[in-house]
Amino acid sequence: MQYLSSGVIQGSCLGPLLLLLLYINDVVKLFDEHCVGKLYADDLKMYMYANLPDCTTKFQGYLDKLATWSDTWQLTISCKKCSVLQVGEGKNNQVYRLTSQHITATNVVKDLGVYVDKHLKFADHIQHIVTNASKRDSLIHKCFISKDSPTMIRAFTVYVRPLLEYASYVWSPHLLKDIRHIESVQKRFTKRLVGMADLDYSRRLATLGLESLELRRLHHDLLCTYKILSNRMDINYDTINVHSQLGNKDPESSVEIMPKT
């Protein structure tokens, strides 16, 4: 029998927690009120306001501190997986380095499985998940010998739908083009099922016992809101601002907001 003298077993349930507590929990002490560091397992996210005086030099200083910490504790940072995203207008011409290697500047970054661009929009994420879900959709129809509808629906809900719903309360779209783009995956899948080609989408959903993806996202949003208001999520709802244009209808929006009379 072999014993591990150091490290954390990969794939274990306690692995991320032990890694965080024993190895990298103190890295957040490198930052202060000007630069915030957020940890999730072995992922680190740093950010600071770009309107601070001499912000680029200060941010490079925090990166240098991180490089020194990495060298001291012999925890190598994968610079190839690092990127810099400047949120807002303007070009990101500043070149940052970490452990003598340049960090790639990008307009879209993947943050815990969700793609977000420099304008804090999620068009790239929606395109990404629809593309991957469509590929799995086609593989199910191609690889499953049985075309029994309950079996096919079960495969869709297990292998395809989670791709379209992961963290949906973060990126849930309000533009009709995005809503229709996501819904097209389930529309296409159900239409190819036995006996469903001649039925419209709403009748197919009723026959198969499914809900539209838009309705399911609404349920997720309401559930998340309830958890926030009932203090079941570590989010201060007093800091959340909700903006709306009363009396105006966005032609790309699926909801019309009217003022109370």
Structure tokens at 121: 């929009």
| Distance (Å, whole) CA 229 – CA 242 | 14
Q: Do 183 and 133 touch, CB atoms closer than 8 A? A: no
Q: How far is CA 215 from CA 171, 172, 174, 244, in A?
A: 15, 11, 13, 21
pLDDT band at 242, cuts 50/70/90?
Answer: low
pLDDT digit string, tens, across residues 50-106:
777 888 889 999 999 999 998 888 888 888 889 999 888 777 678 899 888 889 889
Residue 98 backbone phi and psi in degrees, to 5: -140, 120
| pTM (predicted TM-score) | 0.80
Contacts of 204 (CB under 8 A, 6+ apart): 190, 191, 193, 196, 210
- Could you count the other beta carbons within 10 Å of the beta carbon of residue 156? 22
CB 227 within 8 A of CB 207: no
Q: Please write the tens of the pLDDT for every residue from 125-154.
A: 999 999 999 999 999 999 988 889 999 999
